[in-house]
Amino acid sequence: MTIAVDCRMLDASGVGVYLRGILPFLLQSQNDFLLLGNTAQLKSFNSDTNVKIIECNIKPFSIKELFFFPMGTVRQINKADAYFVPFFNIPCGINIPVYTTIHDIIFPDVPEMSSRVGLTLRMRFFRRAYKKSQKIFTVSRFSKSRIEHHLGAEKPVIVTHSAIQSMFLDYRAKVQSSRKKDTIIFIGNIKKHKGLDCLLDAFCLAKKEGLPHQLIIIGSKENFRTSDNTVLQKIETIGADAVSFAGFVSDEKLMEHLSSASLLVQPSLYEGFCLPPLEALVLGTITLISDIPVLKEIYADYPVTFFRTGDSNDLKEKMLKLLLEKDAPSPVLPEHLLLKYTFEKTASIIMKELV
């Protein structure tokens, strides 16, 4: 069997992590693979005898992808037996069975995130992927339920969890324990569903009650200047010495920040899976997260603390309790929780559905 895999988003953040995680395990199967993407990014797979790389840098969801995808590339793809996409973009001209991945369906669930025109366009892409797919993969039972709610229950929707990258497990083994600093970590963008507003309100209240810690925001500082004046005003009120922007950081730097932090706070209002709490727990950092359904699902068995979603007072109280409690133990994950979500398991499920 020959499987074509769209690897054009290999360097993306969430989708890229998922693809980079599952790809090596997919390639271990007794099948042939066509990898569609940037040859330089895929060079590490070039030596595999069951792999052929097709150079393609056409932007996903672009006009060219939808209407003018190169016919030579389409012909090569259509010689395969199946086409797997780690997202829900499908080039024109594909006439073999297609399997797509919808990580979440946030836009119809949180319509204020986009304009009416933007929502309409996004829903067209979702519906197109649903119509053209043999099966759809997603990363949580919550996302599965929302996909079926918005798009229908006629097509199989299979849960294939996201997972911790192996480098975090390697780093954990290498750095047995890390000296904790008076830092709180937030990882994410400034979009409303990430809940940074709530965290800033809670952090401001906690500082007034004597919390000595610094808040480190890992994400793009530039976007704050142009996209969210309210967030900027709150940060200015708290003080630049209390809130630090790390910007986008390397994986190594991210692991350093997480392993040395006293606390990770994930105040999300909406997620499809949400990896930062898992990454923090693996590195021995206390984790405080909102009680949205998907986080209650994914982290039900883990040693996390939940706070009421959007409630800055509850977040402040839980934050103070966790940070000011004397000798609060770092979380210790037993083997079954360390390996509950793995890309090997995810790839195995995908292969069973493709073959």
Q: pLDDT tens, 206-259?
A: 999 999 999 999 986 655 544 556 777 777 777 778 998 888 899 999 999 999
CA–CA separation, 286 and 323 (whole Å): 9
Domains 2-162+341-354 and 166-338 share a fold: yes
- 2-162+341-354: CATH superfamily: Glycogen Phosphorylase B; (3.40.50.2000)
CA–CA separation, 61 and 343 (whole Å): 26
What residues are paired with 306 via a beta bridge? 289
Exposure class string for 143-164: b at 16+ Cβ within 10 A, else e? bbbbbbebbeeebebbebbbbb
Residue 73's φ and ψ, nearest 5 degrees, are: -65, -45
Closest CA to 14 of 188, 252, 230: 188
Domain ranges of the chain: 2-162+341-354, 166-338
336 token code pair = 């079954």
Instruction: Look at residue 127 and give its three-state secondary structure.
Output: helix
CA–CA separation, 80 and 34 (whole Å): 8
pLDDT of residue 226: 46
Residue 70 DSSP class: -
Closest CA to 15 of 49, 61, 54: 61
pLDDT of residue 151: 97
193 token code pair = 């569903």
pLDDT of residue 230: 73
Please list the ranges in the chain whose pLDDT falls under 70.
Answer: 176-177, 220-229, 326-328
- DSSP strands (E only) in 219-331: 243-245, 263-266, 287-290, 305-307
CATH level 3 topology of 166-338: Rossmann fold (3.40.50)
Closest CA to 261 of 308, 215, 230: 215
Q: What angle, 0 to 180 degrees and rounded to 10, lies between the N-to-C axes of helices 229-238 and 196-208?
A: 20
What residues are paired with 215 via a beta bridge? 184, 243
